[in-house]
Structure 1
Amino acid sequence: MLIIEFLKTVWSWFFYEKREHDTSTDPHNKRPKSENLCFRTFLNRPEVEEVIATDCQPLWRINIWNRQVFFSGDDKCIKRIDQTLQTCKYEVASLSGNSPDDFAIEKSGEIVYADWQERTVCRLTNGAVETIINIGAWKPWALCCTVAGDILVAMRSRDMKHARVVGYKGSQKTREYRFDNNGHPLYASPIFIVENNNQDVCVSDADYNRVTVVDQNGRFKFHYNGRQVSTLYPTFYPKGLATDSQCNILVADQQNNCIHILDRVGQLVSFIADSSLDEPYCLCVGSEDELFVGEYHQGKIKKLKYLQ
Structure 2
Amino acid sequence: MMDPRTSAQDVMRCDLCETTVVQMHCDTCLVNLCKACVGEHFSADVSTPHKIVHFKDRKSTPLYPGCKSHDKQQCIMHCNQCDIPVCHKCIASDRHLGHKVSEILKAVDEKKNKFIKEQTELNETIYPTYQDIASDVQNRMSQLEKEYGDLSTAITKHGEDWHREIDKLVKKLKAEVDEMKNTQLQTLQKHLDEINKTMSDIKDEINSMEIATDTNDLSRLFSVTSNVHVYRNLPHKIIPSLPKFIPRKIQGEELNKTFGALSSSSLTSDKHSYSMKTTQKSSEAESSPPVKQLLDEPETVTTIDTGYGNLYNVACLSDEEIWTSGTGSTMKLFSINQGSLPKSITTKSGNWPSNIAVIKSGDLVYTDNDDRTVNIVKNEKIEEVIRLKKWRPKGVCSTSSGDLLVIMESNDHKQTKVVCYSGSTEKQTIQFDDKGKPLYSPSPHFLRYITENRNLDICVSDDRAKAVVVVNQAGKLRFRYTGHTPAPINESFNPLGITTDSQSHILTVDCYNYCVHIIDQDGQFLRYIDCGLSDPLGLCTDTHDNLFVAQRYIKQVKKIKYLQ
Q: Quick one: which of 296, 300, 303 aligns to 2:559?
A: 303
Q: Is the 8 A contact 1:293 1:302 kept in 2?
A: yes
Alpha-carbon distance, 1:229 to partner: 3.5
* Structure 1 residue matching 2:454: 3-state secondary structure: coil
Matched, 1:294 2:550: yes
Q: Quick check: 1:43 aligned with 2:43?
A: no
Quote the Cα distance in structure 2 between the aligned partners of 1:228 and 1:265: 18
Give the ranges of 4+ consecutive aligned residues of structure 1 lying more than 6 Å apart after TM superposition. Answer: 33-37
Q: CA shift at 1:78, angstroms?
A: 1.0
**Whole-Å separation in 2 of the counterparts to 1:35 and 1:141:** 33
| 2:101 alignment partner in structure 1 | none
Give the Cα–Cα distance (whole angstroms) in 1 for the partners of residues 351 and 369 of structure 2: 8
Match of 1:284 among 535, 540, 547: 540
Percent identical among aligned pairs is: 36
* Aligned ranges 1:21-32 → 2 under 5 Å: none
Give me the whole-angstrom Cα distance separating, in 2, the residues matched to 1:193 and 1:225.
16
Counting only pairs closer than 5 Å after superposition, residues 265-284 of structure 1 correspond to structure 2 as 265-274=522-531, 276-284=532-540
Number of residue pairs matched by the alignment: 276
Does the C-alpha gap of structure 1 residues 35 and 261 become closer, same or farther in structure 2, counting only changes over 3 Å? Answer: farther
1:171 and 1:211 mapped to 2: Cα distance?
27
Flag the 1:128–1:217 CA change in 2: closer, same or farther, 3 A: same
1:182 matched to 2:435: yes
Cα distance in 2 for partners of 1:148, 1:36 equals 17
TM-score w.r.t. the length of structure 2 is 0.47
- Per residue, is there more strand in 1 or in 2? 1
Note if 1:223 corresponds to 2:493.
no
User: Tell me, which stretches of 5 or more residues in structure 2 are unaligned?
Assistant: 1-284
Which residue of the partner structure matches residue 136 of structure 1? 389
Does 1:173 find its partner at 2:426?
yes
Partner of residue 451, structure 2:
194
Counting only pairs closer than 5 Å after superposition, residues 1-308 of structure 1 correspond to structure 2 as: 38-67=290-319, 68-189=321-442, 191-229=448-486, 233-274=490-531, 276-308=532-564
Q: Which amino acid aligns with 1:251?
A: T
Amino acid across the alignment from 1:56: Y
**SS state at 1:88 partner:** coil
- For residue 29 of structure 1, what is the aligned residue in structure 2? none
Structure 1 CA distance for aligned equivalents of residues 423 and 336 of structure 2: 33
State the structure with more CA Rg: 2
| Structure-1 separation of matches of 2:478 and 2:510 | 21
Residue pair 2:450, 2:458 contacting (<8 A) in 1 also:
yes
Task: Identify the residue that residue 5 of structure 1 maps to in structure 2.
Answer: none
**Do 1:150 and 1:174's aligned partners in 2 also have CA atoms closer than 8 Å?**
no
Relative to 1, partners in 2 of residues 1:34 and 1:260: Cα closer, same or farther, differing over 3 Å? farther
CA contact (8 A) 2:289 2:503 kept: no
1:245 is aligned with what amino acid?
A: S
Q: 1:142·1:193 contact (CA, 8 Å) conserved in 2?
A: yes
For 1:144 and 1:97, the matched residues in 2 are separated by 22
Where is the helix percentage greater, Structure 1 or Structure 2? 2
Shift of 1:134: 1.0
Q: Which deviates further from its counterpart, 245-254 or 86-95?
A: 86-95
Question: Could you tell me how far apart the structure 2 residues matched to 1:234 and 1:35 are?
Answer: 41
Deviations for 1:64-111, whole angstroms, at most 9, x for unmatched residues?
A: 012211100011111111234422221111110001111111122211
2:366–2:375 CA contact under 8 A, matched in 1: yes
Q: Find the aligned partners of 1:40 and 1:82 in 2 and give their Cα distance.
A: 26
